Amino acid sequence: MVAAAAAVTAVGAVTGLLAVSDDGRRDEARPVITRSAAPEPLPAVPSVSPATITPTPSRAPTPTPSPVPARTKRPPVPSPTVRERAERAVPATVTGRLYRHPGSQVLDWVAAHPDDPRQAVIDSRIAAHPAAVWFTDPSPATITARVAAVTSGAAAQGRVPVVVAYAVRDRDCGGASRGGASGPEEYDAWIDAFAAGLGGGEVVVILEPDAIALADCLDADGRADRFASLARAGRVLKAANPRARVYHDAGHSAWHPPARQAALLRQAGAASAASSDGVFSNVSNFNGTDAEVAYVRRVLDALGGPADLGAVIDTSRNGNGAPGGGEWCDPAGRTLGRPPTLTTGQARVDAYLWVKLPGESDGCRGAAGTFTPGYAYDLAR
């Protein structure tokens, strides 16, 4: 899959944050660069780092995926009645503070370069902020333990982690971040194991960046399977932890029109309280926050469903908005966006998050998916 990252015309996606693989290494997914008519979505790519994460055995049990029932083709979920809904005066956000996971490329670099003249700026303006943790290896063997290592670490600090599930079948539609589960049954088993690691505390789940907005590459049966998988995934995640908040892919404001994106979201279960808390937008992108706020509200209005559905927006690199000319690959002149927070002051906007970590290259300033201090410094200063 991809994580929608883009500009106004050539919409590009880039890196995620920390991605952890089943053997304890961070996954080595590479950024996907798609080429299509403008606006063109580009992928979100989890970062690469040699460091490892070893979950604490007592808090990270070996996963036991539940049996996978025989799967049959299911038609798209019918659209619920769309009704007018008054905006909430105060968004129903997750409480508490966001969790900064101790394993990330930027933290590794800061620790290893105390004398670098850029270190203080990068440390204070990027490394000090909480960011999402990506899980990209589709094998369910140790996913429970790895997710539990993050959620238990957050719970111990009384903080709220943000985790990204990124393993759906045909991820990135064959692009550079291609991969994912081999089929719907394997994905169902992976989600079951992922959900088992969520624990009982508050957690934000970003469910499959670009899985919905970038579904056009699939045929009708493939889309039906994907949307059924995502609807099931939302139900499983919320059943496993009622305090989990699950958000579905809304692309971003320079991609699909809100009504079209909402129609796709309904097919993926995003309008159902049993499988969704709302939508996410702008993952790995540069679109300005005001544009995204207006966009997600229009998507939510068109989506229907419970009145308390909200949205989260990736603000990691959108301080100057999207660059002109369709640039997407480490474009010059970008700055950090609003710091991550669970208190936005905006109706129906539950959080501003850093899903894509600033400084992890799109492939131009450094190797794709790797932390590039020069790029990070330019964004942060």
What is the Cβ-side half-sphere exposure of residue 221, based on CA atoms within 13 angstroms?
Answer: 5
Strand partners, 97: 159
203 CA to centre of own chain: 13
pLDDT at 37: 31
Extract the residue ranges of the chain whose pLDDT is less than 70: 1-96, 176
What pLDDT, on the 0 to 100 scale, is given for residue 178?
Answer: 81
Q: What's the confidence (pLDDT) of residue 131?
A: 96
**Residue 130 near residue 104, CB atoms below 8 Å:** no
Q: Report pLDDT for 173.
A: 86
Enumerate the active-site residues.
172, 210, 362
For the chain, the C-alpha Rg in angstroms (whole number) is 19
- Provide the β-strand partners of residue 352: 313, 341
pLDDT of residue 142: 94
Structure confidence at residue 45 (pLDDT): 40
Q: Are 109 and 373 in contact (CB under 8 A)?
A: yes
Overall pTM surpassing 0.85 (yes/no) = no
Which helix (H) or strand (E) segment is 226 a member of? helix 220-240
CA distance 154 to 162: 10
Give, for 15, the enclosing helix (H) or strand (E): strand 15-20
CA distances from 314 to 54, 209, 318 (A): 28, 11, 8
